[in-house]
Amino acid sequence: QKEVEQDPGPLSVPEGAIVSLNCTYSNSAFQYFMWYRQYSRKGPELLMYTYSSGNKEDGRFTAQVDKSSKYISLFIRDSQPSDSATYLCAMSYYNNNDMRFGAGTRLTVKP
């Protein structure tokens, strides 16, 4: 079983739709939960992070962590064509350099 599971998609939605991206994980020791966005031919960039359980909102983006279910989500409201990218979930342990990524979900937002 992989430490982090993420549906690779692809996912295609019309502009303005609400997008839901999800990951599950197996290691309950993870404490930090991140979402990275990767545009084509670029390196990943940090979009949002959450420490432990709970929700976090930043503009059109909301990250949710449910540690009891080992499940994290990223919601994108009012999706835009510029949101078209691959979204990678990532997790790390407290006070540790290592980070484990999901395989990424490729999202296309059509005008």
Partner 1 sequence: DAMVIQNPRYQVTQFGKPVTLSCSQTLNHNVMYWYQQKSSQAPKLLFHYYDKDFNNEADTPDNFQSRRPNTSFCFLDIRSPGLGDAAMYLCATSTGPGQSSYEQYFGPGTRLTVT
Binding site for partner 1 (CB under 8 A): 4, 6, 8, 32, 34, 41-46, 49, 51, 88, 90, 92, 94-104, 106
Using the minimum distance from each CB to partner 1, give the nearer residue, 77 or 96: 96
From the centroid of its chain, how far is CA 48?
8
Using the minimum distance from each CB to partner 1, give the nearer residue, 45 or 66: 45
CB of 101 to partner 1, least distance (A): 4
Task: Measure Cα distances from 66 to 25, 32, 38, 61, 82 in Å.
Answer: 11, 12, 24, 17, 28
